[in-house]
């Protein structure tokens, strides 16, 4: 008689979650916190489709009528399209400056031992101690002397230089965690240091570079102080200053200001949504070896 094999129990496709008091409490706390965070955003969306009298009299009440025309008027009257293009140019330009300079500096500081290596590294870190706004007056004079006043290029240089400290700190820690054997193999094949940096190190640093790019992109996109003092031509303004056209001395056009703020927020939400996975990987990269 042939032996009949016992049926093998099938593994469950999804592990069963064991609920307990601690897990329920965590979910309740997180749900409450999510509601607290999302409530202002939801109210902002509701305010954006209200008329001005409705916003002033009943800011938290559901609108009696939905006015999608607020977005069209805000886009046209506030020239949001031009402001977004100006801001995108400044943000992308500053990100390119930061990535090019900080990655090269981090590779040298993390891979080559030379006299003054630690001093140069500490010089970059010292930039984290003080905000760049303290240098507003000398920067204003410098930009005026070199002819970059009322020029978006001045913002690119300022935001690019202000982002170097944190970027060099993050990238240097990551470079030191990369095995040297990869570069030694490339050198044995006849590669130059620049080729190793460009073709070996830069692709490996992609998660951390995404984090650096996002941090500096957000900083440049939301920048308000330097565009306010360096730019005077309305056609060159960034969104953070340009939306103030809806704010008057005696009154504020809330029914147009709120839709303008939402339209300004959307590009940042889109960028972060696309790069969120690389952003999280970049934050944890190099954490085990420094």
Q: What is the C-alpha separation between 65 and 44, in angstroms, rounded? A: 16
Domain membership of residue 156 (yes or no) is yes
Domain membership of residue 181 (yes or no) is yes
Instruction: Put residue 149 in one of left, alpha, beta given phi > 0 → left and psi -120 to 50 → alpha.
Output: beta
Tens-digit pLDDT profile for residues 120-179 = 888 888 888 888 888 899 999 999 999 999 899 999 999 999 999 999 998 998 888 888
* pLDDT band for position 15 (cuts 50, 70, 90): low
Tens-digit pLDDT profile for residues 44-93 = 889 889 888 888 888 888 888 888 899 999 999 889 999 999 999 999 99
Q: What is the C-alpha separation between 245 and 234, in angstroms, rounded? A: 10
Domain membership of residue 23 (yes or no) is no
Q: What is the pLDDT of residue 286?
A: 47
Domain membership of residue 188 (yes or no) is yes
Identify which of 208, 203, 115 has the alpha carbon closest to the alpha carbon of residue 168. Answer: 208
Distances (CA, A) of 50 to 61, 243, 252, 266: 10, 18, 14, 19
Domain membership of residue 248 (yes or no) is no
Q: Tell me 78's DSSP state.
A: T
Tens-digit pLDDT profile for residues 181-237 = 888 888 888 888 888 888 888 888 888 888 889 889 989 998 899 999 999 888 899
CATH number for the domain harbouring residue 127: 1.10.3720.10
Q: What is the pLDDT of residue 131?
A: 84
Q: What is the C-alpha separation between 237 and 258, in angstroms, rounded? A: 19
Q: Give the least confident one: 61-65, 101-105, 222-226, 283-287.
A: 283-287
Contact 82, 145 (CB under 8 A): no
Domain membership of residue 127 (yes or no) is yes
Residue 176, domain extent:
86-236+277-284
Q: What is the C-alpha separation between 241 and 243, in angstroms, rounded? A: 6
Domain membership of residue 98 (yes or no) is yes
Beta bridge partners, 252, equal 247
Domain count within the chain: 1
Domain membership of residue 205 (yes or no) is yes
Q: What is the C-alpha separation between 149 and 144, in angstroms, rounded? A: 5
Average pLDDT estimate for 114-123: 87
Q: φ and ψ at 119, to 5 degrees?
A: -65, -40
Return the structure tokens found at 96.
């390119």
Of residues 19 and 11, more confidence is placed in 19
* pLDDT band for position 30 (cuts 50, 70, 90): very high
Average pLDDT estimate for 242-255: 82
Cα end-to-end span (Å), the chain: 66
Identify which of 73, 40, 80 has the alpha carbon closest to the alpha carbon of residue 253. Answer: 73
pLDDT at residue 290 greater than cutoff 60: no
């Amino acid at each position: 008689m042939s032996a009949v094999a016992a049926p093998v129990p099938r593994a469950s496709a999804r592990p069963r979650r064991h609920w307990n008091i601690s897990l329920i409490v965590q979910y309740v706390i997180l749900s409450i916190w999510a509601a607290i965070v999302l409530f202002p955003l939801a109210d902002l969306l509701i305010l954006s489709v209200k008329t001005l009298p409705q916003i002033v009299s009943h800011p938290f009440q559901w609108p009696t009528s939905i006015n999608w025309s607020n977005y069209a008027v805000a886009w046209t009257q506030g020239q949001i399209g031009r402001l977004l293009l100006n801001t995108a140019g400044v943000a992308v330009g500053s990100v390119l400056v930061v990535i090019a300079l900080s990655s090269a500096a981090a590779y040298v500081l993390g891979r080559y031992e030379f006299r003054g290596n630690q001093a140069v590294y500490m010089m970059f870190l010292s930039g984290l101690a003080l905000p760049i706004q303290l240098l507003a007056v000398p920067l204003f004079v410098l930009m005026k002397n070199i002819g970059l006043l009322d020029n978006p290029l001045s913002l690119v240089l300022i935001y690019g230089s202000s982002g170097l400290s944190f970027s060099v700190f993050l990238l240097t820690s990551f470079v030191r965690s990369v095995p040297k054997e990869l570069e030694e193999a490339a050198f044995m094949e006849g590669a130059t240091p620049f080729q190793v940096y460009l073709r070996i190190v830069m692709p490996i640093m992609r998660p951390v570079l995404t984090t650096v790019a996002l941090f500096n992109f957000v900083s440049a996109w939301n920048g308000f102080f330097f565009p306010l003092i360096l730019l005077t031509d309305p056609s060159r303004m960034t969104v953070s200053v340009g939306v103030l056209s809806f704010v008057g001395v005696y009154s504020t056009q809330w029914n147009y200001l709120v839709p303008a703020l939402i339209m300004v927020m959307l590009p940042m939400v889109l960028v972060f949504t696309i790069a969120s996975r690389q952003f999280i990987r970049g934050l944890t990269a190099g954490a085990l070896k420094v």
